[in-house]
Amino acid sequence: MGMGTELEGREMDPWSMTKRGNNPNSPGKVYARENPVKAIAIGVAFFAPAAILAVGPEAAGAIVLNEVKDEVLSQATGGASDVLDITKNVKNLAEMGVEKLLKTELDVGTYDELIKVGTKGDNITPHHMPANDFMNSKGVSKGEGVTMNMEQPTPGKGGRHRKTSSYGKKSDKSLSGRTSLARDIKDARNIYRSERILTQKVNDGLQQVIKLNKKKFPKLFKKE
């Protein structure tokens, strides 16, 4: 069995093919020299998802290309045309299956604050965390409840806000404030994860929701 066939038949760590090491004749580096385009494809397949989630699709393509170019790209036999094709392929792969966040999505504030700065047709709505009816039961008005902007096509159907577990449903008012908030945070995170856009920006937004709730309603969210 040839080296290329052997390596293609199993998953490989892309860094074993691209990182600098003391052995220029390691299986990964030999394969990379002999099959530069395929080596890049393997490397991108492993690396791109993490890069996309961390920095978004446009930056991901540049990062992946930068990571592999010294060890593999320089070995491309087709010269400039190979480089151009590889660049396009990296960018296309980075953009596959990635849905971009809307401009003001993940903004955090009270319901009234976010409604005030929103615009008609922005396909955004403030999502209460904890749910509005739960906070109402604790004496907090809809306008004062802590929210985070989420996608909701208007008019239309679907969108991330409509996927939340509290949308159109009554909340469990027997829960503590901390438990109710934790459930809604987990629910929102799972929605972004399912759409492959659980970026650091999403996590930061959800952390802001937690902090603002604790700041505005310390008694409701204190540790018991």
Q: Work out the average pLDDT over 136-152.
A: 97
CA distances for 34 relative to 26, 67, 82, angstroms? 12, 18, 14
Q: Partners of 180 in the beta sheet?
A: none
Q: What is the pLDDT of residue 198?
A: 84
Cβ–Cβ under 8 Å, residues 64 and 160: no
Among 152, 145, 182, smallest CA distance to 167 is for: 152
Q: How far apart are CA 136 and CA 65, in angstroms?
A: 51
Q: How far apart are CA 93 and CA 68, in angstroms?
A: 15
Tokens of 102: 């809307």
Q: Provide the mean pLDDT of the chain.
A: 74
Q: What is the pLDDT of residue 209?
A: 97
**pLDDT digits 0-9 by tens, 106-130:** 999 999 999 999 998 899 999 999 9
Q: What is the pLDDT of residue 131?
A: 97
Residue 44 scores a pLDDT above 90:
no
The type of residue at 67 is E
**pLDDT digits 0-9 by tens, 152-211:** 998 889 999 999 999 999 999 999 999 999 999 999 999 998 888 888 889 999 999 999
